[in-house]
């Protein structure tokens, strides 16, 4: 843990951050643009085109569907909540990519690339998730990760931040 951590670090960051509504964690930052493209750059679509991709922690499937719409051969969305997987399946059908998007709780398919957007802060064992991802990648495959506020950040309070001993 850093120099100032734990409850003191949390409260200090909360105080410094103030109470103003900046929209950092509610999705407003991506309303007028692609979240995938904003996070990974416009070349991401070229990198994922014709590839088999996993969206690890896909939620309701927005990014998986967008990845299929931009030319991925197949996108496998993984989440542990059946209700959001059902929502994702319906959304993929509605958007015309249901044949290239598959939403499941687990897969053993080896893929060219793995996306994980705003999911790592929800994993109880991030290192274990990275190990699992490594078993799902083909040789030369890539992992693209972006995540929200972790640990004791004022907007954090996710699984490994509140469950850790630090």
The alpha carbons of the chain give a radius of gyration, in whole angstroms, of: 17
Residue 102 dihedral angles phi and psi, to the nearest 5°: -125, 130
pLDDT on residue 37: 93
63/38 Cα distance (integer angstroms): 12
pLDDT on residue 157: 52
139 Cβ contact partners less than 8 Å away, ≥ 6 residues apart = none
- Closest Cα partner for 63 from 89, 36, 39, 84? 36
With 0.95 as the threshold, say if the pTM is over it. no
pLDDT per residue rounded down to tens, the chain (166 residues): 455 556 666 666 666 666 655 555 556 667 788 999 989 999 999 999 999 999 999 999 999 999 999 999 999 999 999 999 999 999 999 999 999 999 999 999 999 999 999 888 778 888 999 999 999 999 999 999 997 665 555 555 544 444 444 4
pLDDT on residue 153: 52
13/131 Cα distance (integer angstroms): 31
The DSSP symbol for 44 reads H
Among 3.10.20.10, 2.40.10.120, 3.40.50.150, 3.20.130.10, what is the CATH number of 33-149?
3.40.50.150
Question: Which contiguous run of DSSP H or E holds residue 64?
Answer: helix 62-69
Sheet with 111-117: strands ordered across: 101-104, 74-78, 52-56, 111-117, 137-146
140, burial (CB in 10 Å: exposed 0-12, middle 13-18, buried 19+): exposed
């Amino acid at each position: 843990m850093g120099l100032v951590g734990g409850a003191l670090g949390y409260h200090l960051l909360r105080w410094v951050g103030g109470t103003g509504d900046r929209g950092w964690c509610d999705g407003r930052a991506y309303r007028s643009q692609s979240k995938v493209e904003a996070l990974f750059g416009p070349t991401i679509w070229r990198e994922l085109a014709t590839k088999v991709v996993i969206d690890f922690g896909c939620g309701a499937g927005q990014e998986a569907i967008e990845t299929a719409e931009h030319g991925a051969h197949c996108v496998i969305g993984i989440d542990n909540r059946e209700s959001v997987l059902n929502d994702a399946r319906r959304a993929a059908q509605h958007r015309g990519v249901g044949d290239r998007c598959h939403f499941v709780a687990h897969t053993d398919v080896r893929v060219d690339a793995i996306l994980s957007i705003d999911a790592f802060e929800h994993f109880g064992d991030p290192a274990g998730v990275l190990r699992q991802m490594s078993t799902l990648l083909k040789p030369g495959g890539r992992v693209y990760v972006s995540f929200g506020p972790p640990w004791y950040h004022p907007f954090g309070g996710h699984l490994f931040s509140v469950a850790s001993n630090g």
